[in-house]
A and B are shown apart, each in its own frame.
Chain A
């Protein structure tokens, strides 16, 4: 179990976090840049000394400011994969991987490095320089180098962001398998909620130096605790004022005009959230079916193809995004500037306090 709680203040920023990751599990911290994600990793690794805090891994106490304990990074055996991988450019690939290994004989060190490189399918690159490698290869070298440390915990900073889109999905699959094999607590940080959902057993959304909500990715997406979490998880967020309707539902007057219905209760200033794939697009003259169906008139701004689906950006009093099937978009003859009605079920609308 990796446990960390720390608070740290520096010029205009306050970090205050507590986390626990069991063996073999991966906690993904997701948040926008500047949220303090990397600082959390640096504190766990011992590269940043927090104002106060305690970090422990299994029986080993790495940091306890109350008792004046602070173990230097080289004694923590905490594997840290940096965002840009930080490979030693002046060393051949195998020497990078052998760096953490303390064996006297060169042949043993090389053999160990080659074995690890082979596991990552890049044994052939052992004598290359890191500068000659592709992004995906560099990532594998960085992972192999970290595993050569036989780490007690793993920290991954934006592990996929340096890769191009094509390599990313295969790298994500490999990384997921690797994390399951490694069997140590892992903390991963990313600015991409989808990446966090893909790799993390649990996801913590971090904003302004605090973990604002944690749970499984689907819990966060399905029941966001705040508009920020909903927005971050990819939902459309509409702000407004909520009041109880006579039929027991909640009526929300949307800022800027229009009103919608939700089943969730809520009073006063709220954010209503709905996922883009819950929103359907209809022609303006289509009959509205029931009050349980929310309807907002909007203008099509842009249409982006996403494989079988298309993402339609809509201008309304507050911006909306809908995801519809490619066929549906074609049948409607969607084009920028066209006026349409965006509709979704009251039951698909989440209400969170602002």
Chain B
């Protein structure tokens, strides 16, 4: 290799600046939290409750997103139909929705006075101010991240594989389960990591749609906000914990996806 030119040095500088700016706040959280505080803050039952609620609601939301989003993404990736571009755009719309707008939209659709409010009441389903409402908000904001990623993972598959599976006696369902899903696994897991990360950090829509009640709807981000005016060290400690959980999740899923990619290359 020759010496880096001025242009390459410039690129390096831009990356260094981006990295410093993006990492600084993250590092600062740990820098300002001393371990004793962290432990005592986690001992605080309300923090533990918020964290547990976050993990439970995001796990349920991700379960729903994967169960419904995977077949939907497969359809979008493998079939052409009129109006497909419009459908794809509609599915992606929540990506660009400000959280406050998402919250209002959920209230207008599923709240007591909303479009489906009457029907939900008749079915004895209450979402607003309930844990189920948290899950609803999480599914709404995180699903597009998953569906988009899964769709591009399916679209990247060699269509010959799916056709070969059909000629070898597999119906459409078995072709999906035995060929498309495992072959697109890495991309699907990446989408899962993105969606889960987005769900763990969800704040605005949850606050507006489900409120912030300890033990019922107060997820970790809401608990952090709740403390931030009265107990900054406590907010910091909870932030550090949430950060650690999110990072661990991201790394675990990336490792899983990476293993399948590496495994494919190595054998």
Would B167 and A79 count as touching, CB distance under 8 A? yes
A80 B171 Cβ-Cβ under 8 A: no
A99 to B178, CA, bound (A): 9
Q: Does B98 contact A (CB under 8 A)?
A: no
Q: Which residues on A sit within 8 Å (CB–CB) of B166?
A: 46-47, 72-74
Q: Is B267's CB under 8 angstroms from A77's CB?
A: no
Chain B residues in 8 Å Cβ range of A100: 168-169
Query: Which residue of A is nearest B185, CB measured?
Result: A90
Candidates B163, B169, B265; contact of A86 at CB < 8 Å: B163
Cα distance A94–B178 in the bound complex, in angstroms: 15
Which A-chain residue is minimally distant from B265 (CB atoms)? Answer: A131
Q: Which of B127-172 contact A (CB under 8 A)?
A: 158, 160-161, 163-171
Interface membership of B179, Cβ < 8 A: yes
Q: Is B183 an interface residue (CB 8 A)?
A: yes
| A89 partner, pick from B163, B169, B178, B183, beta carbons under 8 A | B183
A99 to chain B, nearest CB (A): 5
Interface contact A129-B170, CB-CB below 8 Å = no
For B265, the chain A residues whose CB sits under 8 A away are: 131
B182 interface residue per 8 A CB criterion? yes
Residue of A whose beta carbon sits closest to that of B179: A88
Give how many B residues have a beta carbon under 8 Å from the other chain's beta carbons. Answer: 20
The yes or no answer to A82 lying at the interface (CB within 8 A) is yes
Choose one: A47, A78, A132, A149; the contact of B267 (CB below 8 Å). A132
A102 surroundings in chain B (CB, below 8 A):
169
User: Within the complex, what minimum Cβ distance (angstroms) separates B189 from chain A?
Assistant: 13
- A86-B158, A86-B163, A90-B183 known; A149 and B264 CB under 8 Å? no
Chain B residues within an 8 Å CB radius of A251: none
Beta-carbon contact of A45 and B179 below 8 Å? no
- Write the nearest CB–CB distance from B180 to chain A, whole angstroms: 10
Q: Could you tell me the distance in whole angstroms from the C-beta of A82 to the nearest C-beta in chain B? A: 5
In the complex, the answer to whether A131 meets B264 with C-beta atoms within 8 Å is: yes
Q: Determine which of A47, A131, A149 lies in contact with B168 in the assembled complex, contact meaning CB atoms within 8 Å.
A: A149
Contact with B along A97-108 (1 / 0, CB 8 A): 001101000000
Q: Interface majority SS on B: helix, strand, loop or mixed? A: helix
- The answer to whether A89 and B179 have CB atoms under 8 Å apart is no
A84-B160, A86-B160, A88-B183 given as contacts; is B267 within 8 A of A145 (CB)? no
Q: 1/0 contact trace for A123-159 toward B, CB 8 Å?
A: 0000011011000000000000110010000000000
Residue count of chain A within 8 Å CB distance of chain B: 29
A77 to B170, CA, bound (A): 10
Nearest Cβ in chain B — how far from A81, in angstroms?
9
Partner of B182, one of A76, A78, A86, A90: A90
How far apart are B201's CB and chain A's nearest CB, in angstroms? 32
How far apart sit A244 and B80, CA to CA, in the bound complex (Å)? 59
- The residue in chain A whose Cβ has the minimal distance to the Cβ of B174 is A74
Q: A86-B161, A88-B183, A90-B182 are in contact. Are A80 and B167 (CB under 8 A)?
A: yes
Contacts of B160 in A (CB 8 A): 82, 84, 86
B192 to nearest A CB, angstroms? 18
Do A99 and B182 touch (CB < 8 A)? no
- Whether A47 lies near B264 (C-beta < 8 A) is no
Within the complex, the shortest CB–CB distance from A343 to chain B, in Å, comes to 50
Give, as a whole number of angstroms, the nearest-CB distance from A14 to chain B.
Answer: 22
Chain B: CB-nearest residue to A48: B163
The answer to whether B267 and A131 touch across the interface, beta carbons within 8 angstroms, is yes
The answer to whether A90 and B264 touch (CB under 8 A), given A82-B164, A84-B160, is yes
- Least Cβ–Cβ distance between B173 and chain A, in angstroms: 10
* Closest 9 pairs between A and B when the two form their complex, measured CB to CB: A129-B267, A86-B160, A86-B164, A73-B166, A80-B167, A100-B168, A90-B183, A100-B169, A90-B182
26 contacts between A and B (CB under 8 A): A45-B167, A46-B167, A47-B166, A72-B166, A72-B171, A73-B166, A74-B171, A76-B167, A79-B167, A80-B163, A80-B167, A82-B164, A84-B160, A86-B161, A88-B161, A88-B179, A89-B183, A90-B183, A91-B182, A99-B178, A100-B169, A128-B267, A131-B265, A131-B267, A146-B168, A149-B167
- If A99-B168, A100-B168 are given as contacts, then 6 extra A-B residue pairs at C-beta distance below 8 Å, sorted by A number, are A72-B171, A76-B167, A82-B164, A86-B163, A86-B164, A90-B182
Interface residues of A (CB under 8 A from B): 45-47, 72-74, 76-80, 82, 84, 86, 88-92, 99-100, 102, 128-129, 131-132, 145-146, 149
